[in-house]
Amino acid sequence: MFNKSFIAAAVVAVGASFAAPAMARDNLQIAGSSTVLPFASIVAEEFGNAFPQFKTPVVGSGGSSGGLRQFCQGVGANTIDIANASRPIKSAEVDACKKAGVGKIIEVQIGYDGIVFASRADKGSFALEPRHVFLAAGAQVPQGGKLVANPYTRWSQIDKSLPDQEIVLVIPASNHGTREVFEEKVTHAGCDALPEVKALDGDAKKKVCSSLRQDGRLIEIAGDYTETLARLQAQGDAVGVFGLSFYDQNRDRLKVATVNGVTPSLQTIGSGQYPVSRPLFFYVKGEHIGVIPGLKEYAEYFLSEQVSGFGSPLEAAGLIPLSNDERGKILANVRNGKTVQ
Amino acid sequence: MHNDDASAPRTDPSTQRRLVERSLARRHGAEKRFRAAGLAAVFFGLGMVALLFASILAKGVPAFWQATVVTEVYFDPEIIKVDPRPVAQPGETPAQLHEREMAWQTQLTMANWNRIIENTLAAHLPEVTDARARARLRQLVTSGERFVLRDRVIADPALIGQRLTLKLLADANVDVWLKGNIDRSLPDSQQQLAPDVRAWADQLHERGVIQMKFNTTLFGNPDSRSSLASAGLAGAFVGSLFMMAIVILLAVPVGVASAVYLEEFAPRNRFTDLIEVNINNLAAVPSIIFGLLGAAVFINWFHMPLSAPIVGGLVLSLMTLPTVIIATRSTLQAIPPSIRQAALGIGASKVQMILHHVLPLALPGILTGAIIGVAQAIGETAPLLLIGMSAFVAAVPATPFDQSTALPVQIYLWQGNELRNFFEARTSAAIIVLLGLMLSLNALAIWLRKRFEKRW
């Protein structure tokens, strides 16, 4: 007898599970960059609170590339509506999207983020230049006029002004958009500036500048910044790459490095003085506007001054706001449905 | 013993006695060492468990008490200027009423709730008169409380114009400061709060306006990112509960039915042997592989919703199935054949024999296996990450089809939160809740076994 009721219950449960696909989704599904995640989560929550007629959006992680891959899987309730990214979408990704039927991609820039180098609060202070970081991280570095396998083991060997500490650099892995900015604005910039590299031709130069050392002094972190922080706590000498907002909330444990003599802050990044910064984006699936309730409203709400302008909760959380002009232009693009080509 | 000893002519008894005593001493020594090694292993294991529990409890228990501002709040009608709540009018459809209700709620949301919180705090700190400093008073209370106040008015619009003594959660950084989770001697540049806000917090704490109150929000609220102090486990808990229900509804009946068939009906041949080997192998498959399978089959193929407990429950059911089958089979095997023979001997059919005699006797074992399987399933994280259950969800799911997280995933998410000083304790508190749930499930399993156990 109890077997019968069990079977009946199982049948009901299985039946219910197959009825699921017929249900339409009534809240937004967002995924992507872990740098944008805290900001998007704050907006999602405030959005759910401010608009009683819409449900609170759900925000997933997965890195910029992971988010855009999910975004480009196609159109429908089981695909995400918005991809957060800490870099602009690539043309290959736009093509992949088109192939899957996602033709209307609306780009929304939300502000800027600074990438900072930080060491443990109880260790030496760093005044870095992109050149230093390349010499610490490159697989091959110029020495005595020719390229040799990276011989540096201590920062003080690179430059007398740097602390006498073991070189251990903890950087984000390639699933993070941050990695690209790190390479473009720090290691490549530092590499290009070296006189020995300047003498090389295009391909050789690119090869030297983009190969990083593999001897264990460069640690790649695929997870989030907490993992980088844990590394720093375990390996006292390590220098980590963080987002400005993460550093800001852990100032008691971390000491930030200056780059080219500029201390990263909302002001220096906003004004462009601090060199390692990048724009943050999210991408809206145009096909879902009008199908999934609240999609356009979310994008517009995100861009309102009270949410992402100066003095907003996002600024308090570490986002560097766009100027009112910039934000107005982007808001107009969202309203007109201007898509990425 | 040695060859030369054996071949040697009989020695006198005293030499022989000496030999025996020597070997005896050696054997006793070996036994002592063996026992000591065993005991050491036990103590090592216990010590590690004690260390783990001690560190989790030491970190997590304080998080169950949270800095709370206990104060009178004045719902100032000058600030909350709203129309009266819409009531149903003759000839109005429910949809129209709902629309007007939504408009009213939006109007209420737009009221300056921050000003109300500001005024509430300023009443305790009358010396703060500068307008900009007054605006900073808000930093003492977590930002989500303005919606809590709004929801109170939505529930009871008559509150406008009244004074009410309420508990407002303090900001996460105020909690960190008052608990000393941040080094209080650090210079201003390394502190999260401005010096005046820290002084206000200390002052109010001394006067008993800010108290450490038992943290009910931890159990009542879903996760939060915009108001960190209000982050709670309710969403994750309900998500885990839904998944548990699905596992119990699917894995247990299917598992028991397969075990009964294999044990009582199936012929012994190479085919059933193959099935048996495969079930045993399936039990050893790493859980993350079930996650990959779930993502491919349920989400990409059946188009089920992302991050929903229904998908998580199905994946965990697949994972638990072999555990249930193996536990049930071994219980069935342990039931003496005489019971089956006696039932059949007095004319019972095979179905009657199984339903009336074998299964009731096997019940304690089946329940134990099922509960342990379920407990294992709700502690599982890896497969859930692959079906998108690691997303940030700021609502409690109402059905298994709504997005949600699960308890272990929530632990993982909090572990990754930026505000380490606050969330290290919060994470340990979540671990204590999960461990409590697991221990009570295991206790239930033991109780059921004792309750229904029959000896023969």
Q: Which residues does chain B have within 8 Å of residue A48's beta carbon, measured at their own beta carbons?
A: 394-395
Taking CA atoms, A303 is separated from A27, A271, A307, B366, in Å, by 19, 20, 7, 57
Q: Which residues does chain A have within 8 Å of residue B302's beta carbon, measured at their own beta carbons?
A: 18, 20-21
Same domain, A50 and A94: yes
Same domain, A175 and A237: yes
Percent of chain B with pLDDT over 90: 55
Going along chain A, which residue ranges are E strands? Answer: 29-32, 58-62, 82-85, 105-120, 127-128, 140-143, 146-149, 169-172, 218-221, 239-243, 254-256, 258-259, 277-285
Alpha carbon dihedral A60, A66, A71, A72, in 10-degree steps, equals -170
**A232 to chain B nearest CA, in Å?**
14
Locate tokens 């156990």: which residue?
A: B453
Q: What is the mean pLDDT of residues B29-36?
A: 95
Q: What is the mean pLDDT of residues A120-133?
A: 90
Query: B112 in helix, strand or coil?
Result: coil
Same domain, A133 and A210: yes
In this structure, the number of other CB atoms found within 10 A of the CB of residue B230 comes to 25
Domain that holds residue A155: 114-277
Q: For residue range B238-247, what is the model confidence (pLDDT) as tens digits?
A: 999 999 999 9
First-to-last C-alpha distance (Å) of chain A: 64
What pLDDT score was predicted for residue B61?
A: 92
What pLDDT score was predicted for residue B311?
A: 93
Q: For residue range A32-72, what is the model confidence (pLDDT) as tens digits?
A: 988 899 999 999 999 998 888 899 999 988 888 889 998 99
What pLDDT score was predicted for residue A4?
A: 55
The answer to whether residue A6 sits within a structural domain is: no
What pLDDT score was predicted for residue A147?
A: 85
First-to-last C-alpha distance (Å) of chain B: 47
Of B49, B401, B105, nearest to A24 (Cα)? B401
The answer to whether residue A1 sits within a structural domain is: no
What pLDDT score was predicted for residue A175?
A: 78
The answer to whether residue A17 sits within a structural domain is: no
Cα B293 from Cα B235, distance rounded (Å): 25
What pLDDT score was predicted for residue B449?
A: 83
What pLDDT score was predicted for residue A17?
A: 47
Same domain, A265 and A289: no
Q: For residue range A83-92, what is the model confidence (pLDDT) as tens digits?
A: 999 889 999 9
Q: Which of B154, B303, B418, B419 to mutate to test the interface with A (most CBs of A within 10 A)?
A: B418
What pLDDT score was predicted for residue B333?
A: 93
Chain centre to alpha carbon of residue B379: 7
B299 touches chain A (CB under 8 A): yes
The answer to whether residue A190 sits within a structural domain is: yes
Same domain, A43 and A101: yes
Contact B225 A229 (CB under 8 A): no
A262 has pLDDT over 90? yes
What pLDDT score was predicted for residue A310?
A: 86
CA B92, B96, B101, B106 torsion: positive or negative? negative
B105 touches chain A (CB under 8 A): yes
Same domain, A141 and A267: yes
pLDDT band, residue B200 (cuts 50/70/90) = very high
Same domain, A263 and A209: yes
**B314 to chain A nearest CA, in Å?**
9
Nearest CA in chain A to B246: A13
For B390, the closest of A12, A44, A61 (CB atoms) is A61
Of B242, B296, B326, nearest to A16 (Cα)? B242
What pLDDT score was predicted for residue A20?
A: 42
Q: What is the mean pLDDT of residues B43-70?
A: 94
Residue A299 has phi, psi (to 5 degrees) of -60, -40
Cα A103 from Cα B31, distance rounded (Å): 77
The answer to whether residue A9 sits within a structural domain is: no
Cα B82 from Cα B373, distance rounded (Å): 54
Same domain, A247 and A307: no
Percent of chain A with pLDDT over 90: 45
Q: What is the mean pLDDT of residues A183-207?
A: 85
Q: How many CB pairs under 8 A join A and B?
A: 142
B391 touches chain A (CB under 8 A): yes
Q: Which residues does chain B have within 8 Å of residue A76's beta carbon, measured at their own beta carbons?
A: 303
Same domain, A169 and A267: yes
What pLDDT score was predicted for residue B192?
A: 87
CB within 8 A of A248, min separation 6: which ones? A318
Average confidence score pLDDT of chain B? 90
Same domain, A233 and A132: yes
The answer to whether residue A246 sits within a structural domain is: yes
B416 has pLDDT over 90? no
Q: What is the mean pLDDT of residues B167-178?
A: 93
Q: Which residues does chain B have within 8 Å of residue A61's beta carbon, measured at their own beta carbons?
A: 390-391
pLDDT band, residue A5 (cuts 50/70/90) = low
Same domain, A302 and A237: no
Residue A84 has phi, psi (to 5 degrees) of -85, 140
Q: How many domains does chain A fold into?
A: 2
What pLDDT score was predicted for residue B1?
A: 46
What pLDDT score was predicted for residue A22?
A: 39
pLDDT band, residue B131 (cuts 50/70/90) = confident
Q: What is the mean pLDDT of residues B197-224?
A: 92
Of A270, A291, A285, A280, nearest to A334 (Cα)? A285
A13 has pLDDT over 70? no
Reported ipTM: 0.80
Residue scoring higher pLDDT (B207 or B13)? B207
Of B238, B268, B282, nearest to B397 (Cα)? B238
Contact B183 A29 (CB under 8 A): no
Cα B52 from Cα B75, distance rounded (Å): 47
Q: What is the mean pLDDT of residues B7-31?
A: 83
Fold of B234-452: MetI-like fold (1.10.3720)
DSSP letters spanning B170-189: BPHHHHHHHHT-S-TTS-GG
For A60, the closest of B186, B391, B394 (CB atoms) is B391
Cα B171 from Cα B422, distance rounded (Å): 10
Same domain, A194 and A291: no
Token pair in block for residue A37: 């995640």
B49 has pLDDT over 80? yes
Q: For residue range B330-344, what is the model confidence (pLDDT) as tens digits?
A: 999 999 999 999 999
Q: For residue range B438-453, what is the model confidence (pLDDT) as tens digits?
A: 999 889 888 988 888 7
Q: Which of B420, B423, B427 to mutate to test the interface with A (most CBs of A within 10 A)?
A: B420
pLDDT band, residue B27 (cuts 50/70/90) = very high
pLDDT band, residue A311 (cuts 50/70/90) = confident
Nearest CA in chain B to A73: B300
Instruction: State the CATH number of the domain containing residue A320.
Output: 3.40.190.10
